Structure 1
Amino acid sequence: MSVSVCTLAYGRAEHLANLVRGLALSNLCPDELVVAVMQNEFYALPEAPFPVRQIDVSGQSIPLARARNTAARAASGDLLIFLDVDCIPHPDLVGDYQRAAETDRGVFMGEVGYLPEGATAGGIDYERFETLAVKHSERAGPPTAPTGYCEDYRCFWSLNFALAAETFAKSGGFDESYVGYGGEDTDFGRCLTSAGINLWWVRGARAYHQYHPHHMPPVHHLDSVLTNAACFKAKWGEETMQHWLRAFTLMGLIKRDGAGGWVKLREPNDADLAMTRQQEHQPFASSAWVLDQLEARELDAGRRQAAIASA
């Protein structure tokens, strides 16, 4: 079974270089790495014991869905492994996915450990990574068996997953109507379910997510989240990204438009960015934490208004 690793990149040159270095340390190296480049220039990358192909998918926006489709269609492998540009693969990742694909059919999602800032300053050190990496609090843990069935398509996550090339073709790929950040992963998960393609958690197939500052919920992508939320609803008749939309509502950024959609009230300000910014002591940003703060603030405001009204 030949293996192609696919990634897409915009900026973060050192993160991508570490992904290549990690793949080069694999116990089972892939047959190739395909990089969909969403910026205007290709990357200068480390030497690797496998071919590395860079494909230009640059444009005026960051075309996440188109980039994934382009990489997959250019890949020659029987098995496609998608890794986010921020991921450093564990030496067993390729082999773990290959074994999973030999026993089950569908889409496989491996483990992810989040690294704090500075974890990669001394180079790739897997023992160090394992002591520092933490699981995202809002993601499921690994299954007790080598693979475990995932019942909820909303759990699909493009950060670290694999599937047979023929399964990708059957799925139809990512919907390129989604442009920018938000919604394309959930849509792909829904497409998989609709096509009768199973989702599987994998024990192992571990990747280490390199630190970068981030916002959750993604207020810095407010416009594309609203556009893609409308795209999802038009396609499937229901909403997605509800927790983000709820947070944006509580922040006073959006409101219902009366027709079941959303209208933007204002641009995010410094206070919004400060609330959602990844905390320095955390290796990942948490939408749940921010939403809890916003819900508590809303509850307190309601209590104060009730106390004033009853005085």
Structure 2
Amino acid sequence: MPDLSALTIAYGRDTHLANVVLGFEAQSVRPAELVIGVMQDRPYDLPATSFPVRQIHVTRPDGELPLAAARNRVADAATGEVLAFVDVDCIPHPDFVAETLAVCTPETGILMGEVAYLPSGATEHGLDFDTFEQIGQRHSDRQGPPPKGMRLCNDYRCFWSLNFAMHRDTWATCGKFHEGYYGYGGEDTDFARTIDAAGLPIWWMRGAKVFHQHHAHCMPPIQHLASVLRNADVFAERWGHRTMGHWLWGFSLMGLIEKDGDAIRILREPDESDYALCRQTDDMPYANSRRVIDILQASQQEEEARRTEVAEAEIAFVTAAE
């Protein structure tokens, strides 16, 4: 059986990362190594493991997150035949490594495993995978896995970078993550667009599950407004159109941005009311842009209907009866 390098990138999130490490230590087939792209100056103090753990520092002088560069560094440094990327907030199921190794070959392309979102407090007393299975929820805006095996993903925009794997031969030929992206947003969709342009398949697969740990987050990601706009323009320069359209539309509905010809400009910075609308609360398993957009559009429609009602009432009031 080939060996697998587990890969992640991290900034802060010490407890989340420790749980990821413990998740890989609990594997039925352990990884050959865990390589961490550390996007901060200090290294992490991590739990002991039966496999090697390497920390590679990848930072930018301006303090922006180098997500694309960090993913490239850990993959380039990996020694395993199979490369499995998980986000720092994703705990692998005990069969994650075994199930990934069972299907990943040089001919496979890109594999996207399952993701279940955990509620707040789920990891307070350690890793209880039986409980995680019972309480973890699938994201409502994401495709579910096939009943068994793999199903082709025909839209690169559905690529999910928080849990994916490929053979190292694929990594060597696919073009990697474009390092013109930094800060938050766009680099993963660009990577999937590159994979698609190269004619490599992207698959949803049953198994290789991770459990996403609850944390405070906003969707759309208004806390990253400037970098989302910048990276959307980088994507447009490379591919002829912007990406992250659902986030940009949400920003527009909130009055944060507007189109100015072909350009998009920031009108104002998010305020507390915007954060209150977009913030994930403890009763939500995940933050959801669709929820926010639906609220904003419903409010906009109600306002338009009310304006029409008032205008009609004013006309009726001043119009003489026949």
Relative to the length of structure 2, the TM-score reads 0.94
**What secondary structure sits across from 1:119 in the alignment?**
coil
Q: Which residue of 1 aligns with 2:291?
A: 289
**What secondary structure sits across from 2:104 in the alignment?**
helix
Q: Is the 8 A contact 1:100 1:202 kept in 2?
A: no
Number of aligned residues: 310
Compute the displacement of 1:64 (Å): 0.4
Partners of 1:30 and 1:185 lie apart in 2 by 24
Partners of 2:88 and 2:269 lie apart in 1 by 28
Partners of 1:105 and 1:141 lie apart in 2 by 20
Partners of 2:279 and 2:233 lie apart in 1 by 25
Task: Mark the structure with the bigger radius of gyration.
Answer: 2
Partners of 1:244 and 1:120 lie apart in 2 by 30
Compute the displacement of 1:298 (Å): 1.0
What does the per-residue CA deviation read over 1:183-237, in whole Å, with 9 as the maximum and x for residues that have no partner? 1111111100001110001100000011111000000000001001111111111
Q: Is the 8 A contact 1:183 1:225 kept in 2?
A: yes
Equivalences for residues 118-197 of structure 1 within 5 A: 118-197=121-200
Q: Which residue type is aligned with residue 179 of structure 1?
A: Y
Q: Which residue type is aligned with residue 29 of structure 2?
A: L
Q: Which residue of 1 aligns with 2:50?
A: 49
Q: Which residue of 2 aligns with 1:298?
A: 300
**Cα distance 1:104–1:23, how it changes in 2: closer, same or farther (>3 A)?**
same
Q: Is the 8 A contact 1:100 1:147 kept in 2?
A: no
Is residue 90 from structure 1 mapped to residue 89 from structure 2 by the alignment? Answer: no
Is residue 248 from structure 1 mapped to residue 248 from structure 2 by the alignment? Answer: no
Partners of 2:282 and 2:27 lie apart in 1 by 31
Q: Which residue of 2 aligns with 1:115?
A: 118
**What secondary structure sits across from 2:184 in the alignment?**
coil
Compute the displacement of 1:65 (Å): 0.4
Compute the displacement of 1:308 (Å): 2.8
Compute the displacement of 1:239 (Å): 2.2
Compute the displacement of 1:166 (Å): 1.4
Compute the displacement of 1:103 (Å): 9.2
Which ranges in structure 1 are unaligned for 5 or more consecutive residues? none
Relative to the length of structure 1, the TM-score reads 0.98
Compute the displacement of 1:102 (Å): 4.1
What does the per-residue CA deviation read over 1:123-177, in whole Å, with 9 as the maximum and x for residues that have no partner? 0111111111101111110112311111010011110000011111211111111
Q: Which residue of 2 aligns with 1:201?
A: 204
User: Given the alignment, which residue of 227, 230, 233 partners 2:230?
Assistant: 227
Partners of 2:264 and 2:174 lie apart in 1 by 29
Q: Which residue type is aligned with residue 95 of structure 1?
A: A
Is residue 99 from structure 1 mapped to residue 102 from structure 2 by the alignment? Answer: yes
Partners of 1:144 and 1:283 lie apart in 2 by 23
Is residue 9 from structure 1 mapped to residue 10 from structure 2 by the alignment? Answer: yes
Q: Is the 8 A contact 2:106 2:168 kept in 1?
A: no
